[in-house]
Structure 1
Amino acid sequence: MSNKVILIVLDGLAYNTAEQCMGFLQGLNAQGATTLYKLQCELPSKSRPLYETILTGVTPVLSGIVHNDVNRNSNQQSVFSLARKAELTTAAAAFHWFSELYNRSPYNAARDRHTEDLEQLIQHGCFYHGDHYPDSYVYLDAESLRRRHNPDFMLIHPMNIDNAGHHEGVDSSHYRNTVRNSDGELSKYLPTWIDEGYQVRRFSR
C-alpha cells in the first residue's frame, strides 16, 4: 500500500447534509471503497483552532489557537512537520490560514500565495484569501500541485460550503447545492488520485 496521502478538509460541511447530498462519496462508501466515521468536534468550533487540531491532534485549549484571530505559527508537531522530518514532500491548496499556521505569519499574498520553498513545512502551496474562491479552482490548484510535485502529503481545503452556510444557512437550497457541487468536483479527481496510489482522507469541519 502507498504511503502517499491526500487530506481533504471540507469546511463547514454538516454530517447529515453530506449523507443526503454527496452522492458520489456515498456511492464509494456503499461499494466498500471508503469508510465513513462520525467524529465529535473539539471546542471551540471555529475554523483556525480546528485546522490546528486536525493537523496536530492537539485540542485548542492546549495548542493556544483558541479563536480565529490568533495569527501566529503553530508551536505543535504537525503532520507537515513530521513529513518534513522524514524528508517527505508536502503540498497544500488551501485557505491562507494554513500558510500562517505552518509556514509564515502574517500571510503576504504577493509572497505566499504561490509557495515554492523546500525549506518550509508546506513546500509547495497555492493559498487563497477569499471565502468565495471557487471550490473548482481549489481542486484544480491541488491537481496541478500533485502533477508537478507528486507530494507525499497534500492538504486540500475548499471553503465554498462554509461560505454558503454563513450567508444562506445550512437549511438553504444554496448550501445543499454547494455541497453537491463539491461532491461533483471530487468525482472528477478522486478516481485518478486513488489509481495513482494515494490514500485519500476527508474531514468535515
Structure 2
Amino acid sequence: MLNKVITIVVDGMRYDKGIEALGFIQHLVETNQAALYKVKSELPSLSRPLYEVLLTGTPASMNGITSNLAVRLSSQKSIFHLTQENGLRNATASYYWVSELYNRAPFNYIEDRHQHDESKPIQHGSFYWDDDYPDSHVIMDAEALRKKYDPHFLYIHPMGVDVKGENFGSESKEYREQILKVASLLAQLLPTWISEGYHILITSDHGMSETGNHGGITDGERDVPLFVISPKVEPGVYSEVVPQLAIAPLMCELLNIEPSNKMISYRLPGLKENSIV
C-alpha cells in the first residue's frame, strides 16, 4: 500500500453546498468507494489562520496566526516540515499565503512564484497571488508537480469558490457553479489518482455566509465537508462531527509518519485498526 496523500482544500466551500454539487465524489460515496464527514472549522473562520490549522493541527491561540494580517512564518511544525524531516517529498500548488507560512515571508512575487528546494519545508511549490487565478490552472499546476516530482504529499488549494462566495453569497448561482466547476476538474483526475493508490482528502478551510462573509461562528461559515478516499478508511456517511484539528494528524497517519507533539489525539470514525503499515 502506498503511503502517499493528496489533499485538496477548496477554499470557502461550505458543507451543504459542497455535498450538493460535488457529483462524482458523491457517486464514490454512494458506491462505497469514499467516506463523507462534516468538519467544524476552528475559529476564526478565516483563511490564513485555517491554513495553519489544517497543516499544523494547532489552534490560533497556540500558533499565533489569528487573522489574515499575520504575515509571518509559522512557529509550528507543518505537514511540510514533517514530510521533509522523514525523508519524504512534498509539493503544493497554493495561494501565496501558504508559502508565507512555511517557506518565506513576505512573499517575493518574482523569486517565490515557483520554488524547488528540497532543503525547505515546502520542497516543490507553484504559488499564485491573484484571487481569480483559475482553479483549472491551480489543479493542473499541481498535477504537473505530481507527475514531475512524485511527491508523497501533494497539497492543492484552489481559491475560486471563495471568490464567488464573497462576491455573490453562498445562495448564489455563481457560488454553486464554481463548486460544480471544481467537481468537474477533480472528476478528470480522481480516477487516475485512485488507480495509482493515493490516499485522497477533499475538504475546505471555512464555509461562507449567505451575505458573502466568513470569520464568525455560524454553521454556514464553519461547517465544511471532508471526503476521504483511502483503503485505510471504511466508506460511508458518518454522523460524528470531526474537529478540524484532526485533519493534520489524519494526514500523518495516512503518510505513516509520527504527528507533531502539538497535534491532538483523535481517531477518525471508520479508520481501520492497525492502519499504519
Q: Distance in 1 between matches of 2:126 and 2:42?
A: 27
Deviation at 1:195, TM superposition (A): 1.3
Q: Deviations over 1:103-141 (max 9, x none)?
A: 111100110111111111111110000110000001110
Q: What's the TM-score once normalised by structure 1's chain length?
A: 0.98
Aligned to 1:158: 158
Q: Distance in 2 between matches of 1:137 and 1:86?
A: 30
Question: Percentage identity across aligned positions?
Answer: 46
Aligned to 1:199: 199
Q: Distance in 1 between matches of 2:120 and 2:194?
A: 27
Q: Distance in 1 between matches of 2:203 and 2:121?
A: 21
Q: Does 1:12 align with 2:31?
A: no
Amino acid at match of 1:109: Y
Deviation at 1:67, TM superposition (A): 0.1
Amino acid at match of 1:145: L
Aligned to 1:72: 72
Aligned partner of residue 77 in structure 1, secondary structure: coil
Amino acid at match of 2:52: E
Q: Greater CA radius of gyration, 1 or 2?
A: 2
Aligned to 1:30: 30
Aligned to 2:111: 111
Deviation at 1:78, TM superposition (A): 1.1
Aligned to 1:95: 95
Q: Deviations over 1:23-73 (max 9, x none)?
A: 111111111111111011110100000000000110011110000010111
Aligned partner of residue 125 in structure 1, secondary structure: strand
Aligned to 1:129: 129
Higher helix proportion (structure 1 or 2): 1
Q: Distance in 2 between matches of 1:71 and 1:148?
A: 30
Aligned to 1:188: 188
Amino acid at match of 1:50: L
Q: Distance in 2 between matches of 1:131 and 1:74?
A: 22
Aligned to 1:47: 47
Aligned to 2:59: 59
Deviation at 1:201, TM superposition (A): 0.8
Amino acid at match of 2:163: N
Amino acid at match of 1:196: E
Amino acid at match of 1:167: N
Deviation at 1:198, TM superposition (A): 1.1
Q: What's the TM-score once normalised by structure 2's chain length?
A: 0.73
Aligned partner of residue 37 in structure 1, secondary structure: strand
Q: Distance in 2 between matches of 1:141 and 1:21?
A: 23
Q: Distance in 2 between matches of 1:32 and 1:100?
A: 38
Aligned to 1:174: 174
Amino acid at match of 2:32: G
Amino acid at match of 2:55: L
Unaligned runs of 5+ in 1: none
Would you say how many aligned residue pairs link Structure 1 and Structure 2?
205
Deviation at 1:91, TM superposition (A): 0.2
Q: Distance in 2 between matches of 1:141 and 1:160?
A: 15
Q: Distance in 1 between matches of 2:125 and 2:13?
A: 23
Q: Distance in 2 between matches of 1:34 and 1:140?
A: 23
